[in-house]
Amino acid sequence: MPPQHHTSAAELDRLRHGGCPPTVRRQVAALIDTRPVATEPDSLSRDHQDHRALRRLAQALPPAAEVFADTDLLAALSATTALAHPWLYQAFLSHYILCVGSVATLAGRPSSPPAPGPEAGRAGAEPPPPGSAELAQVQAKGVFMVTEIGDASSHLGTRTTAEYDEAADEFVLHTPDARAAKFSSVGAPGRGLPQQAVVIARLVVRGEDRGVFSFLTPISGEDGRPVPGVALSSPIAVDAVPLPYALIRFDRLRLPRGAWLHDSARIRPDGTFHDPLGSHDARLQRTLSVGQTLWATAPTAMAAMASRAAVLTLRYCEQRRSHGRLAPGASVLRYRTQQHAVLGALAEAFALTCAAAEARRAWAGGPAGPAVSGEQGDQAPAEMTFSPWAAVDRSLAVHKALSARATAALIAECQHRCGLAGFHRQNRLQGYHDLARAFENAGGDSTLILLDAGRALVTDLPTESASAGASAGSGAAAPVRYSDLPVTDPLWWPGLARGLEHRLTQEVRTAHDLRAKSTPDAFELWNGLLAQTLELGESHSHRLAAESVAGALASLTDPGLQEPLRLLAGLYGIRQARRHSGLLLRTGLLEAEEVRELPAALDTLCDALAPHLPLLTTVLDPADPPTLPPTTPPPAGQAAAAPVIPMTAPDFATALTAALTWHRGAR
């Protein structure tokens, strides 16, 4: 890295990773990349490789509960694992975020005032759940089990039951039929991998449904075989994420009282049940609140993959020549369409980085409510319509939906712009794309999240319309009207995005009120508005991203970054406006002539960005050493070490051929 770039890189590093120091990330990257388990003598399954990698990480990291509590560290670990091995990130988040997180968040609340009754004197004496120590030390693999295969939106209708047996003081975990079977990533039976699961199940006490809770459940023992009462199916292949998935059923599996992650709820010694949250929806919201940490940190992993893909694509295109007849031998980056796409990917990666920082900031700030406190108080639970996710935390859930969807689209465009090289597994773009696409559904279905966000904007119109339609900027950005700015100004798009969200909210609200006069049925009322409601939810997500960019620009202190990042933000905004030009024309926010002028504005910004590209690629993705190709020949008698990512080499074709094993015909 040139010395003049160090200060700029340090500032962007804080935006990308918050307070997590680079030394920690380099240590983690080295543990993942320089000690591949595949080289050990015994033949290990992918599942074993992931578990061994997690165990190595656990030995180098603070205690699991401390990792879970440190948002910046958790986000940096998410990004580092995703960049090194996307499938390992899936295993990491399942173990540390969802399983360890559930135990840390929901395994009793001794610091809370005890529920009134005979057990009041025992507050604070509760032991940790059985198996939680093995989970924290990664002696057992952690698996999160929430999805049931039989129905859509199964999270709103969980059918797996945990019935309390008063006489034995135990819970009986049971799958009533095939439709209620859980789907999750579990190791193959009999492979010597102990596994613990956090199972989402409906608690039944004295025949009454008491809401949905989490239960820490043994799945397989030290020999890797399912424990009695657990049935695992043969593996189900999921090509996009090469982890061992399967169906899981429970046949009256008995769990001790301590396996119940009861949070603030209690079953008293006399068998009576008490939950201060007061409703099933509030309890479901709290049980699934572990998703908040996932949504706060996954955008950092997505932004890291987007930045890596954009930088790889730019470096590859810089040394790639085209033999098109207009300019034989010219760099592909001389073509305007390629510039718009490749530099546009850099711009969107920067926007995703800003949005990820905002998600971490929002979660670290400690949002209030039953999803965090475990106490209902006077606050009613948010309404659940299409799924529970937006009710748990609308803003964070929308950040997850935005980051996954935008990252998948960005990487797909990068693959297209790289041609065949974009699809080589060695270059990792395909793995990054597969992971981002998987998160369209994983961690809460993005479409359902955006539908719920749009619906909430309509029903909350009296309190939110002013802020949604205002012209004030986000964070430290000064109030400004988008119509008073040139389209290349970085604040033009945030103002336009606010205006679009406001007008779409008014549109859907008007249609909603008109339909409500003749359609009292809630399903019929909303079913005819789903397309418009989804548009509104999507526009809300784009407004959040736009304002995060404006806020990041306003907080910059390094003068060397201000001009290139303002240009990059302007490019991002114009590309967003072109992408949504139909809606902007429909709502009257742009005129046709203004839309026709946008490509020329893109050309202007691409030309202005050209001298800043070395700095931008350095600060947006300062590649760790394991991602770089070798720069010196190997010692005599040793095989050449292949570059981890051949596209990082100055000569891709030479690097790729060096990375392959060749079989030559005998002469």
Contact 159, 202 (CB under 8 A): yes
pLDDT at 602 (0 to 100): 98
The whole-angstrom separation of Cα 195 and Cα 418 is 41
Contact 243, 46 (CB under 8 A): yes
pLDDT tens string 192-251: 789 999 999 999 999 999 999 999 999 999 888 999 999 999 988 887 777 888 999 999
Q: What is the DSSP string of 568-610?
A: HHHHHHHHHHHHTHHHHHHTTSS-HHHHHTHHHHHHHHHHHHG
Q: What is the DSSP string of 255-320?
A: EEGGGEE-TT-EE-TTS-EE-TT-SHHHHHHHHGGGHHHHHHHHHHHHHHHHHHHHHHHHHHHHT-
CA angle, 19 then 22 then 24, to 5°: 90
Residue 561: which residues within 8 A CB-CB, separation 6 or more?
A: 8, 11, 12, 615, 619
pLDDT at 642 (0 to 100): 46
Enumerate residue ranges in the chain where pLDDT < 50. 34-44, 110-124, 367-374, 376-378, 463-479, 625-643
The whole-angstrom separation of Cα 350 and Cα 15 is 10
The whole-angstrom separation of Cα 548 and Cα 356 is 9
Alpha helices in 93-126 (DSSP H): 101-106
- Judging by beta carbons within 10 Å of its beta carbon (0-12, 13-18, 19+), is residue 329 exposed, middle or buried? exposed
Residue 212: which residues within 8 A CB-CB, separation 6 or more?
A: 158, 200, 201, 202, 203, 280, 283, 284, 287
Backbone angles phi, psi at 165, to 5 degrees: -100, 105
How far are the Cα atoms of 205, 212, 214, 232, 264 from residue 202, in angstroms, in the given order? 10, 4, 9, 21, 16
pLDDT at 10 (0 to 100): 86
The residues that bridge with 230 in the sheet, in sequence order, are 250
The token duo for 37 is 């388990």
pLDDT at 4 (0 to 100): 60
The token duo for 453 is 């966000």
Contact 480, 495 (CB under 8 A): yes
Q: What is the percentage of the chain residues whose pLDDT exceeds 70?
A: 85
Contact 455, 533 (CB under 8 A): yes
Helix 461-469 with 492-516: angle, nearest 10 deg: 150
The whole-angstrom separation of Cα 421 and Cα 429 is 9
234-237, Cβ contacts within 8 angstroms, sequence gap of 24 or more: 235/188, 236/183
pLDDT at 38 (0 to 100): 36
Rg (alpha carbons) of the chain, rounded to whole number: 26
The whole-angstrom separation of Cα 512 and Cα 528 is 9
pLDDT at 641 (0 to 100): 47
Going 637 to 643 to 649 to 651, the CA torsion angle's sign is positive
Instruction: Name the residue type at position 276.
Output: P
The whole-angstrom separation of Cα 392 and Cα 394 is 7
Residue 76's H or E segment, with its range, is helix 71-84
The whole-angstrom separation of Cα 500 and Cα 488 is 18
Backbone angles phi, psi at 193, to 5 degrees: -120, 110
Going 336 to 339 to 345 to 349, the CA torsion angle's sign is negative
Fold of 140-266: Butyryl-CoA Dehydrogenase, subunit A; domain 2 (2.40.110)
Nearest to 7 by CA among 562, 567, 549, 626: 562
Contact 619, 613 (CB under 8 A): no
The token duo for 474 is 């986000």
The whole-angstrom separation of Cα 352 and Cα 406 is 8
The whole-angstrom separation of Cα 502 and Cα 470 is 8
Backbone angles phi, psi at 152, to 5 degrees: -75, 155
The whole-angstrom separation of Cα 306 and Cα 409 is 10
- Judging by beta carbons within 10 Å of its beta carbon (0-12, 13-18, 19+), is residue 439 exposed, middle or buried? buried
Measured torsion, CA atoms of residues 269, 271, 272, 276, in degrees rounded to the nearest 10: 60
pLDDT at 214 (0 to 100): 98
Its pTM stands at 0.90
For the domain spanning 291-365+386-462+482-620, the CATH number is: 1.20.140.10
